[in-house]
A and B are shown apart, each in its own frame.
Chain A
Amino acid sequence: MMDRRLIENFDWSIIWVLFAIISIGLLSIYSALYVQIQAHPTNNLFLRQLVWLAVGMMVMCCSLFIDYQKLRSLSPWIYGSVLLLLVLVLVAGKEVNGSRRWIEIAGFQFQPSEFMKVVIVLQLAGYFSSQDVPGYPSLGKLILPVCFTIAPVLLVLAEPDLGTAISILAISTTIIFYVGIRWKYLAIGALSILPFIMPIWEHALKPYQKRRILILLRPDLDPLGAGYHIRQSKIAIGSGMLWGKGFLNGTQNKLHFLPEKHTDFIFSVWAEEWGFVGSAVLILLFCLLIFLTLRVAGRSRDRYGSLIVVGMSAYILWQAIINIGMVIGLLPVVGITLPFVSYGGSSLITLCLAVGMIENVSMRRYVFQTR
């Protein structure tokens, strides 16, 4: 069943880069949670992350075996059921810090919105590679993919989880751009949204919602929350200087100045302890990973395969860009984690699945097909 060519075409370079990034992630989480690990050596989030990693690797291996072509007919079903789960979360989800994102099944909690990021890629790739949708599709052909995107985005926004909504939007947009979009459609789209912005802002949004959005754009409006976090994050990163303070020597991190340090702000922990050299290495590793995955997209056998790969790389690319951008104070703080580095089970497993899909396409780029 397993063709020799499948193994030959497996892209090992992606895996080596991935392992490098994951190692950096584990080192950073270990440092960020050092106090907790000392207190509870047998039960802490670091050990749990190792378990998640093992699960993720298994998911990645499993995802290699199914020929991605078979997903073409399955993806509408998967998409539909994840969409249903997103509705379920709003109805019966577990509320944490004022938002409903988690669903509990058989004692395991997970975020359906994470899986949506992979599922939307399969769904859009399937749509754009079908017979009757050409490159540079006409306006009529764009209505459906826009709906595919808007539905989960609205559901996730209702949780509310702005970060995930932005991720899904960025992934879909990248795929649509990749397929090709005419400039005039872009103009039409922008012009048709524009007149609604002011009325929505004025009437539909409650004052606290407006304030939240304003704070995202200008953290200095919330100096005790987001503004304080960004200031502390910048101090942490800057104080790393060229070579860093050394592993486990980050003071910002130790003194609890950093918020969400093992999730959203994990980059600051790494940058404080390993300096400019460390942070440059991590950024370059991400670039290399994206470069290698995009190479798979260019080489893939068909349009469906390359769209899947582009979507998956966009997932990693945009999350990395937005996360690093926000901790170094260039982008608003929206709660997006750093792929493979931040703590988090649902996100790590989904990312492993994404890499698995990329390898899946890579492995099947030359395949003998029986008629």
Chain B
Amino acid sequence: MKNKKPIGLKIINWESTETVSFQRQHFALYAILLVFLMIYLLRLWHLQVLEGSSYRFQSENNRIRIEEISSSRGIIFDRAGVPIVENRPAYHLVIIREDIRDLDGTLRELARLCERNPDDFFAIVEANRTTPKFMPLRIASDLDRDCLARIEAQRIRLPGVVIQLEPKREYKWNGTAAHLVGYLSEITEAELRSEKYQGYYPGEDIGKVGVESAFEQYLHGKRGGRQVEVDAVGRRIRLLDEVLPISGRNLWLTLDMDLQRTAELLLEGKTGAIVAVDPRDGSVLAFACNPTFDQEKFIRGLKKDDWNALTKDPSHPLLNRGSGAAYPPGSTYKAFVAIGALKDGAITSTSTFSCPGYLQYGDRRYRCWRDAGHGGVDVERAIIQSCDVFFYNTGLKLGVDKIAQYANMFGLGERTGIGLYGEHPGLIPTSWWKKQATGVPWQRGETISISIGQGFDLVTPLQMAMGYAAVGNNGKLWYPYVVKRIEGSTGDEIAEIKPRLKRSIPIEQRYFDIVKKGLTGVVESAGGTAHAIRDPAYQTAGKTGTAQVVHVAQGANRKLLEKLTKAKDKDHAWFVGYAPAGDPQICVAAIVEHGGHGASMAAPLVQKVIQAHLKGKTEK
């Protein structure tokens, strides 16, 4: 019986199995438990009983504060190191309500000292009723010197009033290159929550457009702060700890400030844009838009009325006319049609079309700009004299989709990739696009219009500058860029930004030579449409353009019409050119809205910018 186990059943008892071997470790765990129990109880006894009353006092007079130290934003220089955007100190009026015994009286006194309406201050305090009373509350920003002096003199009588120093943006050349540089404005609540602005605080300024926005992550530094102990009236007794702010990185632009000023002066009184790029690397040398806007106004805090006035202004000062607006290219488009037709074999360098002053197509008569006609012209002369009829015929032979294909090669109809907010892609129509967009198939007559850059065609001045640069440099289409160097605020870490080639255009050199000869003839040969701007010091190449705003009815007397049309119905004047023609160092596109003829209005602007660049360099 003793040795018999019950059949089919087995009792397992832990004491008889291997668990026993764990006993030592078991006691080790109990020991750990006991050690931590003792340490923690002693620590709590120390904190809560021995030093409890001191902590109780601290908790009732919680006098440890976090004060922020603003960081300064990176400085923006031009290509030669001239500062365009800097920082200046701004003084803000801040109150800590917990430390103020008579809040109403203090606010009234402050309003008197600042010469402001006390109700404004009451409204701010009321709006922040729920924020903790120990938190600093800014009630007035960017005090002027007199007001600052008056408050400083009275500070001793005003407990809980603090003057906060903060670096503020200063646009040294207010309004200059404003569309490219951009402006700042206070971060919104939605932006604060977004992933892009992690680590930002309410009340901080962020770049809204232009370089200020595109390079926000570099320009924006990191705010610091200090932990301080303050007394009952909020005066600092002791600095407990401090974290220094980190300044933002400085940017060096590719802009040449002298050239930029020249371009802006040329645009004065006109509406339009001048964009100058270096055809050798795609760097932007000048980027002028007119009308421009007051960047400082955004810093001082734009009032609602100011904003409304800016956005409702019929001249649209906030519009970036250099890359954010698109216009029909007019005759400046012909260079691309010509090179495409040569490459495609639709024409050769010797093909001629005769121009009687119009092209009869179906029952419509498409007119050349010169009523008398140009006679028989080849492609070179057609460019020099801007013969419309030659390009009507060429366009019809090439077809809409081929024209678009070659225009696209030169970067038209797509964003250039300059990386600035709100770039317009322009529009180069194809038969597919028209069917998609309007539901109506492409009409061959429309090909005639787009061959001379009218109709649906839309381009930005920046696209034109890059496209002509690619013609001038024999097929290298660059990405335009504006920032050439990013450096740490102490100048220790420097990142140079390299030019980037967008594509090498697969067109043979001989076709480039033919078109470039024509473009040079526009300025250099006696019959050229822009011969008047010739500068004997160097050869200039380019193309005039006059983009129709209002359709001219058939058979109308053009001379009379020009006299009668109102300013807003006048044509846009274009000129795009580069120089020296043989080895281009600068390519400039200019548009003057409702400026009339490209030759008389836009071409002189371009030549003056080229002169300033080429001659300015030899002088230096």
A positions within 8 Å CB-CB of B? 95, 98, 135, 174, 177-180, 220, 222-224, 227-228, 231-232, 234-242, 251-252, 255-257, 271-272, 275-276, 279-280, 283-284, 287, 290-291, 294, 297-303, 306, 310, 313, 317, 321, 324-325, 328-330, 365-371
In the complex, given contacts A222-B243, A255-B62, A290-B33, what are 4 additional A-B residue pairs having Cβ atoms less than 8 angstroms apart?
A: A223-B227, A235-B59, A303-B18, A303-B19
**A296 CB, nearest partner CB in chain B, Å:** 11
Query: What is the count of residue pairs linking A and B with beta-carbon distances less than 8 angstroms?
Result: 171
- Contact check, A276 vs B44: say whether CB atoms are below 8 A apart: yes
A287, A298, A325: the one contacting B19 at CB < 8 Å is: A298
- Contact check, A365 vs B14: say whether CB atoms are below 8 A apart: yes
The 3 residue pairs across chains A and B that have the minimum distance between CB atoms: A238-B55, A223-B241, A241-B52
- Contact check, B58 vs A310: say whether CB atoms are below 8 A apart: no
At the interface, yes or no: B13 with Cβ under 8 Å from chain A?
yes
A-B contact pairs, 21 of them (CB 8 A): A178-B29, A179-B25, A223-B240, A224-B224, A228-B227, A235-B55, A238-B56, A239-B58, A252-B59, A255-B62, A271-B48, A280-B41, A283-B37, A283-B40, A298-B19, A301-B12, A317-B33, A325-B40, A328-B47, A330-B43, A368-B11
Which B residues touch A290, using CB under 8 A? 33
Which B residues touch A271, using CB under 8 A? 44, 48
Which A residues touch B562, using CB under 8 A? none
At the interface, yes or no: B127 with Cβ under 8 Å from chain A?
no
A275 closest partner in B (C-beta) = B48
- Contact check, B60 vs A251: say whether CB atoms are below 8 A apart: yes
Which B residues touch A321, using CB under 8 A? 36
**Residue among B14, B26, B58, B225 with the most chain A CB within 10 A?**
B14
Given contacts A239-B56, A255-B132, contact A279 B66 (CB under 8 A): no
- Contact check, A236 vs B30: say whether CB atoms are below 8 A apart: no
Given contacts A223-B243, A280-B44, contact A177 B55 (CB under 8 A): no
CA A306 – CA B12 in complex, angstroms? 14
Which B residues touch A231, using CB under 8 A? 64, 227
Which A residues touch B40, using CB under 8 A? 283, 324-325, 328, 330
Which B residues touch A238, using CB under 8 A? 47-48, 51-52, 54-56, 58-59
**B457 CB, nearest partner CB in chain A, Å:** 44
CA A216 – CA B240 in complex, angstroms? 19
**B514 CB, nearest partner CB in chain A, Å:** 55
B48 closest partner in A (C-beta) = A276
DSSP majority for the A interface? helix
Given contacts A223-B243, A224-B243, A302-B14, contact A241 B49 (CB under 8 A): yes
Considering the complex, which residues of chain B in the window 37-96 have a beta carbon less than 8 Å from any beta carbon of chain A?
37, 39-41, 43-45, 47-49, 51-56, 58-60, 62, 64, 66
B positions within 8 Å CB-CB of A? 8-14, 17-19, 21-23, 25-26, 28-30, 32-33, 36-37, 39-41, 43-45, 47-49, 51-56, 58-60, 62, 64, 66, 132, 134, 195, 198, 224-227, 240-243
**Residue among A177, A237, A291 with the most chain B CB within 10 A?**
A237
DSSP majority for the B interface? helix
CA A144 – CA B569 in complex, angstroms? 82
Given contacts A95-B195, A283-B37, contact A240 B58 (CB under 8 A): no
Which A residues touch B11, using CB under 8 A? 366, 368
CA A310 – CA B22 in complex, angstroms? 11
**B377 CB, nearest partner CB in chain A, Å:** 64
Given contacts A228-B227, A291-B30, A300-B19, contact A369 B10 (CB under 8 A): yes
CA A241 – CA B57 in complex, angstroms? 11
CA A303 – CA B132 in complex, angstroms? 57
- Contact check, B19 vs A177: say whether CB atoms are below 8 A apart: no
CA A317 – CA B28 in complex, angstroms? 13
- Contact check, B26 vs A297: say whether CB atoms are below 8 A apart: yes
CA A236 – CA B8 in complex, angstroms? 63
**Residue among B37, B134, B226 with the most chain A CB within 10 A?**
B37
**A235 CB, nearest partner CB in chain B, Å:** 5
CA A256 – CA B130 in complex, angstroms? 12
CA A240 – CA B58 in complex, angstroms? 12
**B19 CB, nearest partner CB in chain A, Å:** 5
Which A residues touch B30, using CB under 8 A? 291, 294
Which B residues touch A330, using CB under 8 A? 39-40, 43
**Residue among A276, A310, A324, A329 with the most chain B CB within 10 A?**
A276
**Residue among B8, B43, B59, B134 with the most chain A CB within 10 A?**
B59
CA A246 – CA B185 in complex, angstroms? 47
CA A98 – CA B44 in complex, angstroms? 34
Which B residues touch A306, using CB under 8 A? 14, 19, 22
**B620 CB, nearest partner CB in chain A, Å:** 41
Which A residues touch B224, using CB under 8 A? 224
Which B residues touch A228, using CB under 8 A? 64, 66, 227
Which B residues touch A224, using CB under 8 A? 66, 224-227, 241, 243
A320 closest partner in B (C-beta) = B36
- Contact check, A369 vs B9: say whether CB atoms are below 8 A apart: yes
- Contact check, B132 vs A135: say whether CB atoms are below 8 A apart: no
B36 closest partner in A (C-beta) = A321
